[in-house]
Amino acid sequence: MYKKLIYILTLVLLITGLSVTAFADGIENQTLLNKYSFLANKNTEDTEQFLVTITRPEGDESTFKKSYVICGNTVKEDIRVMLLIYDKDEERYIPFANTDGDYIWDIGASGIFMKEVILPNKGANDVRIIAYKKNEADKLVAKTNLQINSFKVSVLDNGIKEAIKTGFLKITDMLNGLFR
Amino acid sequence: MRRFNFERFKLYILAMLVATSFIQVGILWNYQNEGLPTNFLWNIFESSIRKTPGDVSDYVKLFRVSATEGYDESHFILDESHEYYEKLCNEVFYYLTNLLEGKNILGKQTYSEEYWGEVVVKKSFVYEFKTKISLNILNALLRVEKPANQEFDGIYKMALLPRVDPNNNIRLYVYDGAKTYGFVLPFNKKGLNREKYNDILVSLEANETYSYVVMHEWMGINKTPYRIKPDILIPRGSASEEFEDIVCTVPQIIRNTDTSSKDDLEKIAAKILGNDKERLTWGIDLDKAIVFRNPSKSYKIHQDGLLEYKYLSQYDRADKGTEIEALERALEFIANMADLVKGADIYLSGIDSDKDGYYTFTFDYKVNHNPVAFLEYPVNTGKEGFVNNAITINANKKKVLSCYWILKEFSIGSNNLEIRTYPFDLLDDVFKKYDYLNFSNFSLKDVIISYEAKSSKNEEHLKPVWVIETMDGRYFTVEMKDKKGE
């Protein structure tokens, strides 16, 4: 009887433990957003890139593909990065998962991160990248140990790409004709 | 009368003895050094009777050809079986021949190394050798008879840009690993015109299956914690790809040799040593390697297929010669035994010209257009602890001085692999696996997907790995994940 009880208890603990690990990202993300509600606020000002250098996007960017890779790097240790996207309905930034299903990740020993996301909107996608020292998560202060950067990544229609290409070709061919 | 004739006869005999003693001295002299016993005579006419080496074009090959529409667009790698591969190679070799001959050059300009990074993200066709190829080798490859003077001494990579010139010319950029050189040339009237180049790009985009991106487009130039070459290609997204099951074995003739059978040893001697076999003695080493040797040469064939060759006599440092002269000796050596390697193409993968009195050439295998990597392959009996290439040859203009050659046969197995070409954890995985790496001792020269082969006497099913090459010539490998385990 005791054996059965211990077995069931172990099983329950194991399942609970696994679930905690699986949802750890989400919980931490949500805790952070609850604690620092200004992170979700559209009007929150960006900071300098003093913890992490974001190399992609580099300012507001346009792309023709919904799959987009966000990149950055740091020479500092113990840096955690969180990804948010602006939700028009909720009128605030919400967690945005990359293709690994992570909203939040630590920058590894290489100092470089590359994370693929699927941009949900045709047109503008307002993405916010938050970086902070992970052991200071309970007392984050913007510009001190918290970096906030917002970007607009627009997904353009492939028709525009074709139009640009055709237009460019026509113009260059016309110029070639003139100067031949 | 009779007495007079006898004296004459003695004179003839004496003359013949003198002549044969010279021949004997010549034979012995030559025997101590190299080649056949008649080589001392042949050497007098060396240039006219030099054996035709393996053709340079059989071994000096482009490693990678890629094409892109431009910045932030996909880069497509075209392998040798691609319908446009040959056409595009003929194009670049036409323009390169013109450049080497100094013909039809309408303009030229020299740029920094960083500019190469800008070239490869424009609408371009990029052609890469695995190593910098010196001008004298290129001249031999393209049969340039009257080479013009050039500012660069070799080519590592080249790019054709058919659309950037405002005067309807084509631009050829050459990168030697340190600087970028731009040239303007008129379009080849018998070759592809602008529209044809464009059609190729459109067709590649239309059939887009698997594409790459230049790492710098994502990382920014000079923004990373360590140096990254400006043209490194990595897979564009989290796709997976089907990889063939490559099977690697020791060549059958070595595998099946009974070292106690004289017939078997003679058979392998004939195959590997050719004309040299008559004058070599053979034996079996403690590690069961077959050893053939004479006073000037030693061949050792290990059970894993590793062939070790050494020239045992002194060599003259003044015989270093030019790269092409030494390469020809290396290619003669390879061509004699190349048929032992089955199912693979051999390509020149490295040249070290800095050695005193000789050059070091390395060669590697491609199996069905896929590179095979032999990294840190143990060669315990020599000075080197390991080699990083299938063939490592030291040669001067007269002879091959030493060689490590991992002889293998390759075939395609039936178990295809679905491998995730997910590049995003790649750098973290390298730093995790090699925990002594830090920002100051790491750099990135290239990232290549290769099949990794290890030292083995048995049949191996090779798996693809990421091979990371640093700027100081070190290699790191990272396992690629099976799609099932993603």
Is B142 within 8 Å of B96 (Cβ atoms)? yes
What is the Cα B153 distance to its own chain's centre? Answer: 18
Residue B63 has a CB neighbour count (10 Å cut-off) of 18
pLDDT surpasses 90 at A15: no
The answer to whether B220 contacts A179, with C-beta atoms less than 8 Å apart, is no
In-domain check, residue A173 = no
Chain A residues in contact with B167 (beta carbon < 8 A): 176, 179-180
Contact B377, B455 (CB under 8 A): yes
The pLDDT of residue A118 is 95
- Domain of residue A132, CATH code: 2.60.40.10
Cα–Cα distances in angstroms (integers) from residue B154 to residues B56, B61, B144, B421, in the given order: 16, 14, 14, 33
Neighbour tally for B346: CB within 10 Å: 21
Interface residue A154 vs chain B (CB under 8 A): no
Tokens of B307: 């062939």
Out of A56, A110, A179, the one facing B428 most closely (by C-beta) is A110
Is there a domain that residue A168 lies in? no
Is the reported ipTM for this assembly greater than 0.85? no
How far is B241 from A89, CA to CA, in rounded Å?
A: 39
Domain count, chain A: 1
A36 inside domain: yes
Question: In 3-state terms, what secondary structure has residue B78?
Answer: strand
Here the contacts of B440-444 (C-beta below 8 Å, separation 24 or greater) are B440/B226, B442/B226, B442/B470, B443/B226, B443/B227, B443/B228, B443/B470, B443/B471, B443/B472, B444/B215, B444/B226, B444/B227, B444/B228, B444/B229, B444/B232, B444/B468, B444/B469, B444/B470, B444/B471
What percent of chain B stands above pLDDT 90? 68
Enter the tokens of residue A131. Answer: 């970086």
Average pLDDT, chain B: 89
Q: Supply B13's token pair.
A: 């005999």
Reply yes or no on whether the pLDDT at B45 is more than 70.
Answer: no
Indicate whether B457 pLDDT > 90.
yes
CA A34 to chain centre: 18
Which CATH code of 3.40.50.2300, 3.40.50.300, 3.30.310.160, 3.40.50.720 fits the domain covering B248-410? 3.30.310.160
Hey, of A112, A166, A168, which one would you mutate to test binding to chain B, going by the most B CBs within 10 A of its CB? Answer: A112
Q: Do B220 and A56 touch (CB under 8 A)?
A: yes
Instruction: Give A74 or A33, the one with higher predicted confidence.
Output: A74
- Could B431 and A108 be called an inter-chain contact, meaning their C-beta atoms sit closer than 8 Å? yes
According to DSSP, residue B301 is labeled E
- Residue A177 domain flag: no
What residue numbers bound the domain in which A154 lies? 2-163
Query: Are the beta carbons of A111 and B430 separated by less than 8 Å?
Result: no
Please write the tens of the pLDDT for every residue from B10-36.
889 999 998 888 787 776 665 555 455
Helix (H) / strand (E) element for B434: namely none
Q: Do A73 and B423 touch (CB under 8 A)?
A: no
Q: Is the pLDDT of residue B370 over 70?
A: yes
pLDDT digits (tens, 9 = 90+) for A107-156: 999 999 999 999 999 999 999 999 999 999 989 999 999 999 999 999 99
A115 touches chain B (CB under 8 A): yes
**Residue count of chain B:** 486
Nearest to B186 by CA among B208, B159, B211, B167: B167
Helices (DSSP H) in B287-393: which residue ranges? Answer: 323-337
Q: Quick check: is A174 in a domain?
A: no
Reply yes or no on whether the pLDDT at A78 is more than 90. Answer: yes
Among chain A residues, CA nearest to B71: A63
What is the average per-residue pLDDT within A43-61?
95
Residue B421 or residue B184, greater confidence: B184
Query: Which residues have CB under 8 Å from B220's CB, separation 6+?
Result: A53, A55, A56, A58
Q: What was the pLDDT predicted at B177?
A: 93
Query: For residues B110 and B151, is the Cβ–Cβ distance under 8 A?
Result: yes
pLDDT in tens, B232-286: 999 887 678 889 999 999 999 999 888 888 888 888 888 887 766 667 788 888 8
A23 lies in some domain? yes
What would the mean pLDDT of B208-236 be, rounded to a whole number? 89
| Cβ atoms B444, B229 nearer than 8 A | yes
Size of interface A-B (CB pairs under 8 A): 70
